[in-house]
Amino acid sequence: EVQILETGGGLVKPGGSLRLSCATSGFNFNDYFMNWVRQAPGKGLEWVAQIRNKNYNYATYYAESLEGRVTISRDDSKSSVYLQVSSLRAEDTAIYYCTSGSSFAYWGQGTLVTVSS
């Protein structure tokens, strides 16, 4: 059974930083692209970042709206992916989901990031 668990969310002051983690099991993590997607309260879904697998040299891609403030990384030995977000703003308040594969087959339950003073 595929399991995806995001952690690391919480309350952060504007201008602060956060590192989100996503631990996975139940599939061959090394073979998969991994992604972060976010959803602001009451809003739709927004793709944030993707990291490809070793065969694609771990290439990374970012949504234009966030580029420069986010970094996605992975540790294949831990079947985990990470998202570092900096210079946080109120509009970054959202549930951040980790999803597997090129086309987002499986999702975790998400971790809530709240940016507020």
Partner 1 sequence: DIQMTQSPSFLSASVGDRVTINCKASQNINKYLNWYQQKLGEAPKRLIYNTNNLQTGIPSRFSGSGSGTDYTLTISSLQPEDFATYFCLQHNSFRTFGGGTKLELK
Q: How far is the CB of 93 from partner 1 (least distance, A)?
A: 17
Q: How far is the CB of 4 from partner 1 (least distance, A)?
A: 9
Contacts of 94 (CB under 8 A, 6+ apart): 38, 39, 40, 41, 43, 46, 112, 113
Displacement of CA 25 from its chain's centroid (Å): 16
1: contact with partner 1 by CB under 8 A? no
107: contact with partner 1 by CB under 8 A? yes
What's the rounded Cα separation, in Å, for the pair 83 and 63?
13
64: contact with partner 1 by CB under 8 A? yes
The amino acid that residue 8 corresponds to is: G
| Candidate ranges 9-17, 69-77, 78-86, 106-114; the one touching partner 1 (CB under 8 A) | 106-114
Q: Which helix (H) or strand (E) holds 89?
A: none
- Of 61, 69, 71, 114, the one binding partner 1 (CB under 8 A) is 61
Interface positions with partner 1 (CB under 8 A):
35, 37, 44-47, 50, 61, 63-64, 97, 102-110
